[in-house]
Amino acid sequence: LAKTTQPISMDSYEGQEVNITCSHNNIATNDYITWYQQFPSQGPRFIIQGYKTKVTNEVASLFIPADRKSSTLSLPRVSLSDTAVYYCLVGVAGNMLTFGGGTRLMVKP
Amino acid sequence: EPEVTQTPSHQVTQMGQEVILRCVPISNHLYFYWYRQILGQKVEFLVSFYNNEISEKSEIFDDQFSVERPDGSNFTLKIRSTKLEDSAMYFCATFLDEQFFGPGTRLTVL
């Protein structure tokens, strides 16, 4: 299973764009990259998933370079309610098993 | 939006007792999972279940744990003889195009 490395924590202010980068140097050819958000005492919530290049949905964008050894989750114009832990997972779709430590994002007013 | 439900939301038990945690997956999903999260720690994979059998399990998922889908709808996690260190949030998840997590069951072992 590909291991992921993320910053432990990040601070931001309301209205700013936040970029969280995840390293996954030993990603396999079939692996997808998925990001989850987790609030205290709640289950992780799917944010976005991608394989290569750029994926965008209504809440975030995911940038994946050509070598796929890293990925960046971009949250546009964060609000206080985006304060959460963000996890990057790498694996075959349907078998995303290993959560790393995640990045604790604190959004300040 | 479809959702995974879990019962109970909170379970308190005495050490050595058996507990059964229940999950109702999203109806057309094919893969089912249990994860746990000890307070303040990361989410840990326990087991995945597909086509009515375990497809993968972690080293945490020892002989004290079992899973089943008794009636084709509910998906259960049983801990036969709970230990203090089993105290955690237990999350059920199901997958079709993306993985949906339930709200979790907080298990407290005294």
DSSP of A60-91: -EEEE-TT-SEEEEEESS--GGG-EEEEEEEE
Residue B61 pLDDT exceeds 80: yes
Residue B1 pLDDT exceeds 90: no
B78 confidence band (pLDDT: 50, 70, 90): very high
Residue B101 pLDDT exceeds 80: yes
Q: Which residue of A has its CA nearest to B4?
A: A43
CA distance B40 to chain A (A): 9
Question: Could you tell me what percent of chain B has a pLDDT over 70?
Answer: 100
Hey, are the CB atoms on B45 and A44 less than 8 Å from each other?
Answer: no
Give pLDDT tens digits for A27-54: 999 999 999 999 988 999 999 999 999 9
Sign of CA dihedral B41, B47, B48, B52: negative
Distance from C-alpha of B103 to C-alpha of B94, rounded to nearest angstrom: 12
Q: Is A34 part of the contact surface with chain B (CB cutoff 8 Å)?
A: yes
Mean pLDDT confidence for B72-77: 88
Residue A1 pLDDT exceeds 60: no
Q: Which residues of B touch A (CB under 8 A)?
A: 4, 30-31, 33, 35, 42-45, 48, 55-56, 58, 89, 91, 93, 95, 98-104, 106
Interface test with B, best of A1, A6, A34, A95 (most B CBs within 10 A): A95
Give pLDDT tens digits for B9-39: 999 999 999 999 999 998 888 889 999 999 9
Q: Which residue of A has its CA nearest to B57?
A: A97
Q: What is the pLDDT of residue B97?
A: 78
Residue B73, Cβ density class (10 Å: 0-12 exposed, 13-18 middle, ≥19 buried):
exposed
